[in-house]
Chains A and B, each alone.
Chain A
Amino acid sequence: MAQFTINDITLKGIAASVPKNTALNSDLSFFSTDELEKLIATLGIKKRRVSLPHQCATDLCIAAAEKLIDKLNWNKDDIDVLVFVSQTPDYQLPGSSLHIQHRLGLSKSCLAIDINQGCAGYVYGLSVISSLMSAAKIKKGLLLVGDTITKIISPFDKSILPLFSDCGTTTALEYDEEAKPILFNISSEGENYDSIIVPAGGGRNPITEDSFEFKKFDGNIERKDFHLKLKGLDVFNFSLKKVVPNIEDLIAFSNNSKEAIDFYVFHQANLLIVNTLGKKLDLPLEKAPISLEEYGNTSSASIPLTLVTNVAKENKIINQNILFAGFGVGLSLGSAIVNFNNVICPDLIELE
């Protein structure tokens, strides 16, 4: 069941929040001036938002949720479902969505669920919350999607340090029988589970004293077993090979033409990948917005962040057909086509 349709659900608003603390890739001491020039041009990333120790993904998402609930003038008691998508939750257990229910002051009858997903997480999360709301006719729901990947990267891993940046987002959804259907195409590529992985800290490789040792890898890289490990070229090849057919299948399933889509919002992996996908689909540049230069790769948050920073005009997205495509950790990928009827997007929040 790769492709499916969800009826009666409309997006009402999207808000995003980033740490105010900013790091510049031009300051990275691993690289010569020449290397930096090439790195920044290829990745398209100049700045990264790095969370401070007291800022977790939940904090960024909650700031976005509070602002959005206020702008939409929603009554918190009406919110009956909350889905939190992240790979950097507050604790191993309990799931962060429960604590978020309490911190946001939502009703105890609100269903709260965590989903462990990353770069494709916005599409996965949207598919879960919209299915639930549609099936149970739930009036209002919140999808919180965000990560603080900078917290799990080795400071001595120059292969991934220049990429990742932190962000939390909230999307507000409503049951509406007038809404146009949301279309999904999702696929699982679990045989490559270790292409992006934090090896230690779960049941398979519990934390031991050895986990605290820095280990040396090719290319002068050092990391611990509970740091993020990424097989860059494998993930790059996966993105180049799988994403375009996934999108083309979804467009065929929608019975629409490629041209009927107003924006293609790709997971902001890096500029080379986003540009290559745009070229393979033969898209005009303005249809594939890019937020990498200022905000880097924000994992699960990159699609909603890009909608807020690069698609919204005067804090709104009105009457647009938008395709999202997320791909990465899992490995997993998914695309969705959503009609944005009238979606409120408050200004980006910068958390001190």
Chain B
Amino acid sequence: MRDTSLERFLFLMRELFKEHNRGLINENTDLQELEEWSSLQIMIIVSEIDREYDVLISADEMRGITTIAKLYDLVKKKTN
């Protein structure tokens, strides 16, 4: 069974950021406010979500994402 818990999602997302920024990552974090946010970081996140959940997030979908919670909801919706 795939683990689709928020805890697992947060853990995966934190791993994609530099160590000193990981403490800033929780469900209410506004991704676009993060210093490490960039088109490259989006590609890294999309690739990790594809690897873990077998779900691809499109550019259009990504544009509407503000917080980690919103991204998590989208992933959950797409896995169902």
Candidates B18, B36, B41, B46; contact of A236 at CB < 8 Å: B46
A237 contacts the other chain (CB 8 A): yes
Describe B's contact surface by its main secondary structure.
helix
CB distance from B77 to the nearest CB of A (A): 17
Q: Please name the residue on chain A nearest to B41 by beta carbon.
A: A38
Candidates A38, A43, A233; contact of B58 at CB < 8 Å: A233
Candidates B47, B58, B62; contact of A276 at CB < 8 Å: B47
B43 touches A232 (CB 8 A): yes
Which residues of chain B come closer than 8 Å to A237, judged between CB atoms? 46, 56-59
CB distance from B57 to the nearest CB of A (A): 8
A240 touches B39 (CB 8 A): no
Give A234-273 interface residues, CB cut-off 8 Å to B. Answer: 234, 236-237, 240-241, 272
Known A234-B59, A237-B59, A240-B56; judge A219-B50 contact (CB<8 A).
Answer: no
A276 touches B50 (CB 8 A): yes
Interface size class of A (residues with CB under 8 A): 10 to 19
B69 contacts the other chain (CB 8 A): no
A35 touches B38 (CB 8 A): yes
Candidates A42, A234, A240; contact of B40 at CB < 8 Å: A42
Candidates A35, A39, A272; contact of B47 at CB < 8 Å: A272
Q: Please name the residue on chain A nearest to B50 by beta carbon.
A: A240
A5 contacts the other chain (CB 8 A): no
A231 contacts the other chain (CB 8 A): yes
A234 touches B39 (CB 8 A): no
B13-42 to A contact mask, C-beta < 8 Å, 1/0: 000001000000000000000001011111
A279 contacts the other chain (CB 8 A): yes
CB distance from A89 to the nearest CB of B (A): 29
A211-238 to B contact mask, C-beta < 8 Å, 1/0: 0000000010000000000011110110
Q: Please name the residue on chain B nearest to A34 by beta carbon.
A: B18
B39 touches A159 (CB 8 A): yes
Which residues of chain B come closer than 8 Å to A219, judged between CB atoms? 38-39
Interface size class of B (residues with CB under 8 A): 10 to 19
Q: Please name the residue on chain A nearest to B17 by beta carbon.
A: A38
B62 touches A233 (CB 8 A): yes
Which residues of chain A come closer than 8 Å to B41, judged between CB atoms? 38
Question: How many angstroms between the C-alpha atoms of A241 and B50 in the bound complex?
Answer: 10
Q: Please name the residue on chain B nearest to A231 by beta carbon.
A: B59
Candidates A34, A35, A236, A241; contact of B43 at CB < 8 Å: A236
Which residues of chain A come closer than 8 Å to B38, judged between CB atoms? 35, 219
B40 touches A38 (CB 8 A): yes
CB distance from B56 to the nearest CB of A (A): 5
Question: How many angstroms between the C-alpha atoms of A236 and B38 in the bound complex?
Answer: 15
Question: How many angstroms between the C-alpha atoms of A276 and B56 in the bound complex?
Answer: 13
Known A236-B46, A272-B47; judge A241-B56 contact (CB<8 A).
Answer: yes
CB distance from B54 to the nearest CB of A (A): 10
B8 contacts the other chain (CB 8 A): no
Q: Please name the residue on chain B nearest to A233 by beta carbon.
A: B59
Question: How many angstroms between the C-alpha atoms of A148 and B61 in the bound complex?
Answer: 33
Which residues of chain A come closer than 8 Å to B12, judged between CB atoms? none
Candidates B18, B42, B51; contact of A233 at CB < 8 Å: B42
Q: Please name the residue on chain A nearest to B20 by beta carbon.
A: A34
Listed residue (B36, B56, B57) with the most chain A CB atoms within 10 angstroms of its CB: B56
CB distance from B73 to the nearest CB of A (A): 19
Q: Please name the residue on chain B nearest to A35 by beta carbon.
A: B38
Question: How many angstroms between the C-alpha atoms of A39 and B42 in the bound complex?
Answer: 12
Question: Which residues of B are in contact with A by a Cβ distance under 8 Å?
Answer: 18, 36, 38-44, 46-47, 50-51, 56-59, 62
List 8 A–B pairs whose Cβ atoms lie within 8 Å, in order of A's numbering: A34-B18, A219-B38, A233-B58, A233-B59, A234-B58, A236-B47, A272-B47, A276-B51
Name the 7 nearest CB pairs between A and B, nearest first.
A233-B59, A237-B56, A234-B59, A236-B43, A159-B39, A232-B39, A240-B50
